[in-house]
Structure 1
């Protein structure tokens, strides 16, 4: 693996590069386990007793800035502790837990902290975990990866070296726990959040892995969802030689456009669009009435997501009287209809962003009245306020994030009211942020050329970010590189009627939907075993893998259409194109 210094790519990309695919040796498949994770040859590794002694000796280790592929301060290991194996549902193996810090260049910027977990029984692979939201807390990389079935051992227990970071800041504002983007006032801290921290921590981890095991990893993977999904795509685009495989789930790809969408929705909320729980239920039932049967089955689940866009009309739910004094829960006011319609519309800029984009797509319909969806992300439990409530639980996620984005990232005025914001007034800063944050470069030719594999997953009931952003990005990659190249190295799967956090529920009988799949094994089989993923994957239930049936997760552009039989069994469906 080449870890030479790489200059981060600018927002625009050069012409299409020639793609040379490097064949993967199948020698590592000997003795491959059912999970597809082959332990590194014991003859290549120090003995367990040697590693036990080597673990505490890592404390105090210093890694010079010259070994990090971006301008940086040096890294220092603050703790190295040998952890005993644990049993139970969250079993972990014996491993060396390493905590460290990477010094900033700017004395006013916070350090990057990270955790590296080195199992004594190593499978020869490293797995870097992505973050979430605005990050701001240390990702320990000890838990399950996103959407993993409940009965799947965590990656560390499967032999992976795992690592995570706080992305170079901690959310510890003395003023309020809602000030999650305050760090962005410092340029280096924001650059680390954009891309720098993940590259720097990955490089430091590579050095430590070599020192501990006396050999480099066979494969390096990145796995993240939401903000972590954006990070994964950023690594493929900016540092294409660093990773062999990436899983990117519900990535916030067009970050700048997304957060402008949040600001637009916040304005609609403040202008009377807020809904209580009963009104959100009315919205959900309106979507079900219009779209439930489009997938061949009336069960409170919208699977045919694109057809629903044309079928459901928010105006059909508008109250005949718009008098607030006679407001009813079984219909929506004009302001509430406007909020829903606004969500479905594209946000357009008057100037280009990174990679020539000038808009962000609207949201899809299909999971409004379920936990973790419209009520959490769009409306929140209470009407929004300015300043934002000091209790983050009182405010919708979109409003909280959009408010922080405008105040700390764009205007850099903590007292600014987002109701007064116009993108054109801050065009230069908006473009600057887009160049740093937006993971929209479709030229993945260098990542694919060395054998890199990418698996993306979108949830069509996602009200945090628009699933159309991921779909349109994948389309742009196919346009830039051709379907043959993309088919060899990338997949996009669609989990229908699933929320941002990877859960799903019928909007009529409230049955939990199967939404879990072991994407890490799917990736590892592809990279290490040269086993091309199937066009159709099977989903199990996250909380009860054997009690709630199974479902299909189709490859883009398809959805599961009911063809007859037990509705709880995946074989009763077939994948069809959603139009």
Structure 2
């Protein structure tokens, strides 16, 4: 049975307002509801949006829209609209304990972009065009190796459960599958598509540009004008995509949100393989995760002024952790209560840079170490952070066990076999990058988003919000920090101050969620970054030095269970007294 709890999204929406708490340097965010209908009337009076009734009536006609040949700014096959269907507005619901957010009336457009190579798969895309349009568009990023259709109708990364979807705020939204369909390849082989040059190029950068251009063509036909603002919002692989767009196509986007971005794809996947090969003979058992998490918490928890199982002072923590006291007697594995010498070597490797024997894109030679902290948090709904990414529930196998092996092994070995060696049967255990130097450098030039020259993007007013999660076991938060430092070194502190914000969320895993060590309460990690980006681009209102993160109940009335500031790098939330569950009890300090 469905229980309706909200007004239809086309008649009610939320506008974010912000008030400052200057004592604690934290901006407290509140919502006030306004009528989307009144907003639409006001915008129509200014000539900025077409009539909603006319748009509703013209949706079906988009199925016959002929996308302009050459609309994509890159070589491409024919782009086609395959269907256009008007979707009725729907209220928010709770059904079987799951919340579904409100949707407005919108025209759902599906389409494809054909490949040039007959052996390559097409690019599939979806474009959602609200009949009450704010004149702006959001391109959604993908994740992992992509290969599944991103609909543009999901909540944004790290959204609170009651945050309105972008399409319900009036944005046109769109996404795609990056030019390959994972279902066509064997399970557990996410990199298999990389054997085809065009599909690899599409995954690296080309598909995002092509779909963006086709989306503008369709929007221009439907709304009779181009979008005033174009944003990219992505996390992980999608974060890499966003940075790639700023670097390769700076004239195409006005603002980008890049969350936990896989900036240095090449370095990361080589570090994955290093971490996993070290476990071939002496696997770090999943049951030892709690032991490591407690040791890091004991060393670092109180550095933020409060011993609560949350490592907020992520930079101050790194030099204080020494796991040697966990060594098993004699150095051999003696169970889950100690670490063998081989397991200690693995932990030292994870917390040390990976070093290439040659340079890769943009002159880099290393991938940075991972940070300590929150190894036992859940990353996703049920997977333990370090188990999901580093240990798995069984030792690394060849070929990888898609169910029990760590994601680092599944991803890393797949990339080396298909992207580098281009041999599905290649034995990754004997891999040496120097044996594939030219191929490593070529794929690095395709994949890595490490170019610090964003001058063209900044020159046209482009804004970039980066978010790193300190407890990320997928990619290292240090990579985003190093990229930020490279931007400053290349373009100067003043230019970066005008155009970039880097925030670090302490305790947050790759997927964003976190808990206090040893199964404690949820840590506030939810925050809306689209609204601050839009206000920065549209009104010149730069995001605050601290944004408030919350954790809310998953069902109405979405009670706030705790809040905490997310500070601009290099700040962290330091407890200054009061209710530990309130953001006003913290201030941003430097280590």
Shared fold per TM-score greater than 0.5: yes
Q: Report what 1:563 is aligned to.
A: 576
Q: Report what 1:70 is aligned to.
A: 74
Name stretches of at least 5 consecutive residues in structure 2 with no aligned partner.
1-12, 18-35, 93-99, 380-384
Which residue of 363, 373, 396 maps to 1:366? 373
Q: Report what 1:322 is aligned to.
A: 331
Name stretches of at least 5 consecutive residues in structure 1 with no aligned partner.
1-31
**2:453, 2:364 → 1: CA distance?**
14
Shift of 1:509: 5.1
Q: Report what 1:106 is aligned to.
A: 117
Offset from partner CA, 1:280-308 (integer Å, 9 cap, x none): 11111111111111111111111111221
**2:332, 2:367 → 1: CA distance?**
34
* Aligned pairs (5 A) from 1:288-367: 288-324=297-333, 327-367=334-374
**1:35 counterpart = 2:16:** yes
| SS of residue matched to 1:35 | strand
Which residue of 93, 117, 135 maps to 1:124? 135
Q: Report what 1:215 is aligned to.
A: 225
Q: Report what 2:50 is aligned to.
A: 46
| SS of residue matched to 1:62 | coil
| SS of residue matched to 1:67 | coil
Structure with the higher strand share, 1 or 2: 2
| SS of residue matched to 1:493 | strand
Offset from partner CA, 1:207-232 (integer Å, 9 cap, x none): 11010000111111000000000000
Q: Report what 1:410 is aligned to.
A: 420
Shift of 1:542: 5.0
**2:50, 2:182 → 1: CA distance?**
39
**2:255, 2:48 → 1: CA distance?**
23
Distance 1:335 1:288, change over 3 A: same
Offset from partner CA, 1:244-288 (integer Å, 9 cap, x none): 0100000000000000000101101213132122x1111111111
Q: Report what 1:24 is aligned to.
A: none
**1:286 counterpart = 2:298:** no
Which residue of 522, 525, 532 maps to 1:522? 532
Which residue of 49, 55, 58 maps to 2:59? 55
Task: Kindly indicate whether the alpha-carbon contact (under 8 Å) linking 2:48 and 2:135 is maintained by their aligned counterparts in 1.
Answer: no
| SS of residue matched to 2:183 | coil
**2:563, 2:48 → 1: CA distance?**
41
**1:573 counterpart = 2:586:** yes
| SS of residue matched to 1:282 | helix
| SS of residue matched to 1:549 | strand
Structure possessing the higher relative contact order (Cα contacts under 8 Å, 6 or more residues apart): 1
Task: Kindly indicate whether the alpha-carbon contact (under 8 Å) linking 2:14 and 2:169 is maintained by their aligned counterparts in 1.
Answer: no
Offset from partner CA, 1:81-114 (integer Å, 9 cap, x none): 1111111141111100000000111111111110
> Could you list the runs of 4 or more consecutive aligned residues of structure 1 that deviate by over 4 angstroms after TM superposition?
36-40, 542-545
Matched residue count: 541
Distance 1:427 1:315, change over 3 A: same
**1:438, 1:246 → 2: CA distance?**
17
Across the aligned residues of Structure 1 and Structure 2, the Cα RMSD in angstroms comes to 1.5
**1:200, 1:78 → 2: CA distance?**
17
Which residue of 221, 229, 235 maps to 2:239? 229
Q: Report what 1:137 is aligned to.
A: 148
| SS of residue matched to 1:193 | helix
Task: Kindly indicate whether the alpha-carbon contact (under 8 Å) linking 1:81 and 1:96 is maintained by their aligned counterparts in 2.
Answer: yes
| SS of residue matched to 1:443 | coil
* Aligned pairs (5 A) from 1:177-576: 177-277=187-287, 279-324=288-333, 327-372=334-379, 373-389=385-401, 392-508=402-518, 510-544=520-554, 546-576=559-589
Q: Report what 2:126 is aligned to.
A: 115
Shift of 1:321: 3.1
| SS of residue matched to 2:281 | helix
| SS of residue matched to 1:114 | strand
Q: Report what 2:107 is aligned to.
A: 96
Q: Report what 2:33 is aligned to.
A: none
Shift of 1:48: 2.3
Shift of 1:547: 3.9
Task: Kindly indicate whether the alpha-carbon contact (under 8 Å) linking 1:65 and 1:73 is maintained by their aligned counterparts in 2.
Answer: no
Shift of 1:328: 2.2
TM-score (norm 2): 0.89
* Greater CA drift, 299-308 or 355-364: 299-308
| SS of residue matched to 1:300 | coil
| SS of residue matched to 1:153 | coil
